[in-house]
Structure 1
Amino acid sequence: MTENFFLDGGEVLAEALQQARASAADGTDAAYAHVLGLVAADDAALWATLAAEHVSVLRSWGRLSTAASQCERYLRDERGAAHRLPLLIERAQVRSESGMHAAAAADAAEIREAVGRDPRAELDSAAHARLRRVEGLAAGDPATARRYLGEARAVFESVGDAAAVAVLDADLRLVAARGGSDEAVSAILAEDSDAATSVPRALARALALKARHRYEEALLVVVTALASDGLDAALQLPLLEELVGLLVALRRGKALKALSAELSHLTFMEAGGSAEGTEPPAARFLRVLLTTFGLLDRGEVQRARGELDAIRELADSDRDRAHWHLASGEVSVAAFKRRKVEADLTAAVSDLTTALELANTDQLLDVRIRALRLLGEAFELLKQPDQASDRWARAHALEEELVARQVSDEVRATLLEDIPTEHDERIRVAAELAASGPGGAPAATAVAAAIVAMESARGAAVLAGIAPGAAGALRRLPAPGDGPAAWQWLRTIADATARDEAIWIMHARPGRVHHGIVGRGLVHHVDLPADRGELEKLVKALRKECNEYRLGRPEGRDRVSQLIERLAAGIGVETVLGLVPPRIKRLVVVAGGVLSDIPLAALPIKSGRGAPGGLGGLGGPAGSAGSDGAPVPIVTRFALSDLPCLSARPLLRQRAVGNRGSRALMISAFEATPEDFEGELLRTDYRRVRILGHGQTDPKDASQTWLQFAGTKNERDGRIQPGRFQQANLTSCGTLILGACESGMAQRVGRDERTGFVRAGLHAGAASVVAARWIAEVSVTAVLLDRFEGYLRYLPRDVALQRAQLDVRDGRAVPAGDVPEPGHPAWWACWTLYGDSGHQVKAPILRASARRPAHVIRRLFRTAVQTD
């Protein structure tokens, strides 16, 4: 503070100054106006010194916005303009504490230049130390920052200013933490978290938490600071900058959009501009950056480029420059999609590589991840798939590391669902290109490329688990981005379908579900909004409801119906199947991840859509599907089968053709041991194998997934797990029927694919597998599978299962047990046909069926041979 002044007749000024300082101790500053009014008109130096003291008082209270505006007002006064030095020192400190380090450093440079020009001007040690702190906090080089802050600390320590020394110690820890010092990070985190109420301490704690990749906790710290009572407007900016990075890292897209809208209405008090109330450069940079993302969302690419270029010079730190180059790269990628000019991609690669280099600290991990994602997209569009896969894989690894550091299971699960794999990204890029054809109409080659990208994702996950060497089929897929080759490949697939058959391929990525419909003269790609996390929750809830106790109660069955309706709406069934012409009666479904768990047969569609008689022309009783336009299950119109991937179809079809016939093995797993089962398959070739028994699946623990056979010593001795089951000799089996509970459920592998008894049966050599998605009621299982086997004698497998399910649904097949509302889909929709959907019985046998036995069954431990 300024010393008391005793000038000629100045006792009044001295007394007023004492009163002003006393008022300041009580939290008011109005008396300073009176003090400044008492200063003689010709004593400009004293006036400027006292004005600087007033600003200092406001700054010490944390009222930075008021301090900034008052300082600007004093600098515009001719006395302040004539003696700027003390006011500039205060303004530099106000700007520095507001997070405007570049502007603060500019003030410090102006002060030192002025002192160097005027021999009469000098800085006392305290002023020099305060400037050194400003310069240290603004320094981009950690070594320089440490040196300047160390100089300031030494000065304050020499005069015994313990409070200033403590502040400098905190500054030095922060610089060390930014430089990657684990010791400094630990020291910041060791401080009492409740003490992080001031903005500087909150920002330091958030930075330390980010260094440990604990983004969720850092977000809570920043949000708490922003919500604190009496937060000064000038302190909003540094907190908002942290908030933006955290929201990006935690995939909070809705919150980012809301923040962008809010920033456009925020009034930042000027902390260093030329006029009161004007927007500071740092605030403008942040606002325009968020505005750019909003413009990109609306497709206003040219305007986004103009806005971004206008703020390039405002990026005055590595952090800001990293964000600018990241946004510039994203704008260039968007420009390429509109103009198809390769120079845009070249510019994008350059900008994104620069962003990656600048974001070389843990505090900018979010920028690194986003830059890698966009680089992958740019390389994909440049038809460099290996480079694209490398960048996407690196981004995925960083994101999984980030997820592991979060606190709550809910946040971890949400983040995992929101992390796109390289397949998600490849499908997204292909789909966006498919949607950007002339006039908005997708080109056939672009649609084909999108469907091939979906097939590549499925094949990469499952082919190796179906047959040794099967993954080689992936290498025969067209290269990513090769539209003409993709179109030729897809035409080959379409030509191999029957006239009444279509393939429905699906893939869920974060925020979208992609659908492809392929058949003779039929190719569609539909990209619909969907919440993958919500679909996961619905499937889990459905599985929980589907047990005999819950289904025995009306409210349980109602709950299942509601969940099925929500799943249908969630993936857009009506929109997709509305593209399928009436001639199509059979659908081969290719789906992975959460989509593979949805009971498609039960999903409701409107019966008026080309489904006469409710059975899609299959000869069922008229009206069984409900009145025209009323919702009915998909199975009333389509026979469904599930295919692991399109590349597996020729392999499974070849197996099916070679393994047609009626010789069947029916195994009572309650009586036969695993060794009996395995030995019987080695002794005799069976074309159809049906296992009657019990199974259990634990989606989280593969060791608790098993089929129960009779044990030689105890029950546990008779359990077969998928790994052992896939070693069974099923190379002669055309149809494997797993009549056990939960046999179609499976263990997650990674995030996208499951392995279980269905996959094990296909790996063991079977051409097709019939299994249950959830716990199946015993009496419904018996009657449904008996009907299915009967229809197999003259119908394709998918149609046979469709008929069996409709027989149960419509009451033509009545379970032996007391099953409430047996036609409810919860009882029959769990059964699914996986693999080849064609005939089990050869055509010649169909023609000769009246002259010789066509159906031969051997029952293990019921040894009579049955013929009919």
Structure 2
Amino acid sequence: MRLMTGPRKFVVDHGTPLARETEAARKAFARRDARAMDLAYREAVRLAAEESAELTTTLAMQHVSRLRILGDGTTALERCEEYLGRDWENLQLRLLCAETRLVLGDDSWIGAEVDEIARIAAKQPMRGAGEAQLHRLRGLAAAQRQDTGRALGHLGEARAAFAELGDEAAVAAVELDISAVELQRGAVSEPVRGDDDSPQARLVRSEALRIGGWYEKALAELDPALDALPDPALRFPFLFAEIRLLRLLHAPVDAELMKDLYEAAKQSAQPEENRRAAQRLDPDADSYSVIGMGGHLLQAARAYAETAWRLAETGEAERRVEAKQRLDEAEQLLLTEQAPPEPAGWHVAEWHLAAGEIAFATAKLDHDPATAAQAVRHFQESAETQDAPVVDRISALRRTGDAHDLLRELDAAHREEHLAGSAAAWAEAHGLEEGLAAKQEDDENRIRMLLANPTEFDKRVEAADRAIERGEEYAVAAAVIAMEAARGSAILPRILPGEEPPVRDLPGTGDLAGAWRWIRRAVRGLPRKQLIWMLHATPDGVHHAFIWRSGPFGLHVRHTLVSGEPGRTKIGLANAIDELKDCWRYGVRLEGRLRTPGKAARSIFDEKLNAVEGLLGIGRLGKLPEHIERIAVVAGGDLAEVPFALLPCPGEPEKLLGGEYALSDLPCLSIRRPLRRRARGQRGTRGRQMLLVQPNAADPDTVDEQALEPAEEVPGRKVLDRAAATPAALREALASGGYRQVRIDGHGLFQPDSARDSILLLAPEGESGELSAREFQAMNLVGTGTLMLGACESGMAERIGRDERTGFVRAAFLAGASSVVAARWDALDDVAARVLNSFEKNLRRHPRDIALFRALQEEHEKHHAGPSGHPARWAVWTLYGDVGPQKVWHEPLSRWWDAVLRHLGRKDA
């Protein structure tokens, strides 16, 4: 523990009571017995008072200083105040007492104390150390008033004075004060690691790292500091800093840790103030707010204002009265907290944030556009404040978007302007959020931060949902456009290069009529019996949009929000999906997870799937239109990993989606029409238009456990099997671009760390027979309408960026294919052969999604209909991309011609 003051040396006659007590105190100090030392020093000070005031002061200062060294700051402060009660104007004791209060984290008194010390100092000369200490106190008092310029001036003088006295410990302590004030001003950079590992130095470094966004590094500074704090009264600021960092990382906080924080607040020098501060980190408290950096009053003002506008959103009269009360409390707190004296720093940013929150809540209550515009100005002022912490900028930008969204409702004359303003602010906020996440080193922390905070697309979807609730015309179209904008689009230019107009030509955020036109164009030619099902998860819930046609011109769009745990839905859903994927990834075979363990009612896989189903809210969706038979799912992010075929039908929980509907998968709605146009030139089901690659086909003359069941023979089909099924042979065969159907049977291996390096195991065994997704993408599939990947894990993908997914499916689209059938997890070999054989036959008479649906239904009815036949064994197969017919002619003519051919006994068509 650093001391700014030190006791003077003195001489005491040997053998006197005073000498015995001082010697007892010295020995107790040497063996670190704080209680015995305290008793001895108190008696020594009492005895010294009979001899001289100077000796009494010296012993009293030594007593307090050594208590602090032993880590008992609370007792040190009690003794200091006890001695001051006997000598109120003792300048040395006052300075030591002031320093002890600061060490304990109590600065509430500092302004008045500095004035009192200055009054006393005017009546008696001050020594060099005392003058330096007074400069320090004046600097800290100025820092408390947010006057950082004056604070740095006084602290600079204190540092120079201590340096002249040769007190290196005091210089180091003042330098920590200067660092803290510079952080308050906003001068943030990643701190250089020095030799000072004292708890105070670690706390300052941790704060610098936190404000700069290096949360993981900041946490690493705190653990050793907490271990080095024996005094419970000193633990509060360190525990507070640790829990705040965990909250900023959206990491779980143990209930015991929160309990420790409240206990530390009780034992601190400012128990009530610190209890309120602890509530800022407690989600169960009304003042919960971890984002801001400012003082407790500003935090409370923001929390009260936010509570007020949330109450106002309910529309209930009683809630409005409560909201008004909260707003009055927030305004009183803002008046109590002085306006910023400087034009930069966190206090300025947070003061405007608090003022903006109050104006925003008032506008929501009173439906006043002028007040909402005032809120926008405050939020923009906060976001544009020089040296404002990045988390305050993010919060201000997000609120700017919210206020613009409110103005869109209140100020119809400038609706498009406000829509654009909200979208731009939300986008900038999320960009900064991504930058913060990038500063963390642990993938889990980075992903969790991004999942917990809303993207600009999340905010746009939520804004559209509010507009739908208000009954705004075309609002449901805005929700669809926002959900589509969130989907990955980097693949689109490669589908139809050079297409005009651009493939992804989304309307502007304010163009609601254009949104309807875009949807009509995107679903043009949608079969009447097919429905588009779009999903998008936000931190607060899961949004579902359904699009279908009725008649030649009728278009229906329905939007449903399934609310979840506020701020945690997307994280919870991602974790549940991750646990579900553990049933089949990292070399785990799903077959083992389908068995019911012991007396359990469900298998591990079923339990994990049920958790995902609950979070998606399938049971809270209305029943789908009666005439629908086909569904194209557009689900991005983690939702793309969900096996929808195994989910219950909305409104009919006893039925499976995969058992009632022909399902397909699209990465985004925009890709539907380009793939459909591409597929028109890739149709054909004649044998000579088909290619089969089967390196592991069973040889009747040998016994091979790794061998696969051979595919059914198709007259005229080109076959590369066994030793002939090499990557080079496949490349050469595809080079002509003449194969309309390509089927690759074999074994596969997904690489979770780099999906583009996932492999298909062709011939021969070893590296020379391994075909990666990266290499496959370079092959020629421009003539291939349907690609069948009959390999385990061929449909698995790795998420990159916001919503792009790499793997064999994407590689096939980029190589020129229009549709891909692939396995979501490891597939049983006999099931794969039967499903793909049946699928190939069905392609002669049905569109691709129905062809696969019928193949899966046949597999279920013939082999898995019993109680032990889990549907996951066939639901592994998914159709990605275009669902149209592979046959050259349309369905009615195709069926008639097939009947004619069958009648004539011809099988090859």
Pick the TM interval, shorter chain: 0.7 to 0.9
Aligned to 2:578: 537
Distance 2:884 2:189 in 1: 66
1:555-602: per-residue Cα shift (whole Å, max 9, x none)?
6993333333333233222223x4424443322100112211211102
**Which residue of structure 2 aligns with residue 371 of structure 1?**
396
CA contact (8 A) 2:475 2:512 kept: yes
Does residue 574 (structure 1) correspond to residue 619 (structure 2)? The answer is yes
| Residues 1:725 and 2:760 aligned together | no
Change beyond 3 A, Cα 1:365–1:459: closer
Post-superposition shift, 1:410? 3.8
**1:464 pairs with 2:467:** no
The whole-number CA distance in structure 1 between the counterparts of 2:515 and 2:173 is 64
Q: Does 1:667 align with 2:657?
A: no
Q: Which residue, 525, 531, 534 being the options, matches 1:502?
A: 531
CA deviation digits over 1:473-517, x for unaligned, max 9? 566423225445435654666786444332210123446432222
Q: How does 1:496-645 map to 2 (within 5 A)?
A: 497-510=526-539, 512-520=541-549, 521-529=556-564, 530=569, 531-544=572-585, 550-551=591-592, 554=595, 558-576=603-621, 578-604=622-648, 609=651, 631-645=654-668
Matched residue, 2:753: 700
- Structure-2 residue corresponding to 1:249: 248
Q: Which amino acid aligns with 2:898?
A: S
Match of 1:311 in 2: 333
The counterpart of 1:28, out of the listed 38, 45, 48, is 38
Give yes or no for contact 2:215–2:440 (8 Å, CA) kept in 1: yes
Q: 1:134 aligns with which of 134, 137, 142?
A: 137
Per-residue CA deviations over 1:529-575 (Å, capped at 9, x if unaligned) read 23143034224303328866854984699333333333323322222
Three-state SS of the structure 2 residue aligned to 1:779 is helix
Contact persistence 1:355–1:367 (CA under 8 A)? yes
Residues 222 and 243, structure 1, Cα contact 8 Å, conserved in 2? yes
Partner of 1:803: 854
Whole-angstrom CA distance in 2 between matches of 1:264 and 1:552? 45
- What is the Cα deviation at residue 53 of structure 1? 9.6
1:845/1:854 contact within 8 Å kept = no
What is the DSSP-based 3-state SS (H/G/I as helix, E as strand, rest coil) of the residue aligned with 1:662? Answer: coil
Q: Which deviates further from its counterpart, 697-706 or 177-186? A: 177-186
Query: Counterpart of 2:813?
Result: 762
* CA–CA separation in structure 1 for the residues paired with 2:511 and 2:384: 31
1:426 counterpart letter in structure 2: R
Q: 1:562 to 1:735 in 2, by over 3 A?
A: same
**Alignment partners' CA distance in 1, 2:168 and 2:536:** 62
The correspondence for 1:788, drawn from 832, 835, 839, is 839
Q: 1:715 to 1:239 in 2, by over 3 A?
A: closer
For the pair 1:422 / 2:438, whether they are aligned, the reply is no
Aligned-residue Cα RMSD (Å) equals: 5.2
Shift of 1:784: 0.6
Worse overlay, 60-69 or 565-574: 60-69
Q: SS of the residue aligned with 1:738? A: strand
Contact 1:539/1:594 (8 A) holds in 2: no
Q: Aligned equivalents of 1:278 and 1:846: distance in 2?
A: 80
User: What letter is aligned with 1:128?
Assistant: E
Q: Tell me the secondary structure at the aligned position of residue 480 of structure 1.
A: coil
Aligned residues: 800
Instruction: Give the aligned partner of residue 749 of structure 1.
Output: 800
Deviations 1:210-256 (CA, angstroms, capped at 9, x unpaired): 477542242355467568776454x4664466346524532348789
Instruction: Give the match's secondary structure for 2:844.
Output: coil
Q: Is 2:352 aligned against 1:325?
A: yes
CA distance in 1, matches of 2:365, 2:391: 27
The answer to whether the Cα contact below 8 Å between 2:757 and 2:774 also exists between their aligned partners in 1 is: no
TM-score, reference length from structure 2: 0.72
CA distance in 2, matches of 1:855, 1:255: 75
- Say if 1:182 and 1:341 are closer, same or farther in 2 by CA, change over 3 A: closer
| Maintained 8 Å contact 1:811/1:823 | no
Task: Tell me if the contact between 2:486 and 2:803 (Cα under 8 Å) persists in the aligned partners.
Answer: no
How far 1:746 sits from its partner (Å)? 2.8
Q: Which runs of 5+ in 2 are unaligned?
A: 1-5, 11-15, 30-35, 280-294, 313-322, 408-416, 550-555, 696-719
Shift of the 287–639 alpha-carbon distance from structure 1 to 2, 3 Å rule, reads farther
Q: Look up the match of 1:411.
A: 445
Instruction: Tell me the secondary structure at the aligned position of residue 584 of structure 1.
Output: coil
Match of 2:873 in 1: 827
Taking a change above 3 Å as real, the CA distance of residues 20 and 219 of structure 1, as seen in their structure-2 partners, is same
Aligned residue number for residue 699 of structure 2: none
Contact 1:59 1:67 in 2 (8 A): yes
1:655-681 CA-to-partner distances (Å, cap 9, x unmatched) read 445555533533232325556556655
Separation in 2, partners of 1:245, 1:401:
19
In 2, the alpha carbon distance for the partners of 1:182 and 1:405 equals 14
Partner of 1:360: 387
- From the superposition, tell whether residues 209 and 682 of structure 1 become closer, same or farther in structure 2 (CA, over 3 Å): closer
| CA offsets 1:252-279 (integer angstroms, 9 cap, x no match) | 48789996997699557666xxxx9788
Distance 2:874 2:190 in 1: 62
Per-residue CA deviations over 1:85-106 (Å, capped at 9, x if unaligned) read 6776456434533445575245
Residue type at the aligned position of 1:649: R
**Alignment counterpart, residue 894 of structure 2, candidates 845, 852, 861:** 845
Contact 2:249/2:448, CA 8 A, preserved across alignment: no
Distance 1:401 1:684, change over 3 A: closer
Determine the structure 1 residue equivalent to 2:296.
286
Between 1:169-178 and 1:210-219, the stretch displaced more is: 169-178
Structure 2 counterpart SS, 1:794 = coil
Match for 2:677 among 622, 641, 654? 654
CA distance in 2, matches of 1:112, 1:660: 93
* SS at structure 1 position matched to 2:862: coil
SS in 1 for 2:895: helix
Distance 1:834 1:756 in 2: 12
Q: 2:191 aligns with which of 185, 188, 193?
A: 185
1:585-642 Cα offsets, whole Å, 9 max, x none, are: 3221001122112111022458xx45xxxxxxxxxxxxxxxxxx6x443212222111
1:787 CA displacement: 1.6
1:783 Cα shift? 0.7
Contact 2:186 2:346 in 1 (8 A): no
Between the aligned partners of 2:869 and 2:895, the Cα distance in structure 1 is 31
Moved more, 380-389 or 765-774: 380-389
Unaligned runs of 5+ in 1: 6-11, 611-628, 815-819, 857-864
Letter in structure 2 aligned against 1:422: E
Tell me the CA shift for residue 209 of structure 1.
Answer: 4.3
Residues 61 and 481 from structure 1, CA distance in 2 versus in 1: closer, same or farther, beyond 3 angstroms?
farther
Structure 1 residue 203 displacement after superposition: 1.3
Displacement of 1:128: 1.4
Any idea what the Cα deviations from partners look like across 1:708-758, whole Å, max 9, x if unmatched? 5557x9862673634653652434x44332333333223433242213332
Q: Secondary structure at the match of 1:654?
A: helix
Relative to structure 1, is the Cα distance of residues 408 and 528 closer, same or farther in structure 2, using a 3 angstrom cutoff?
same
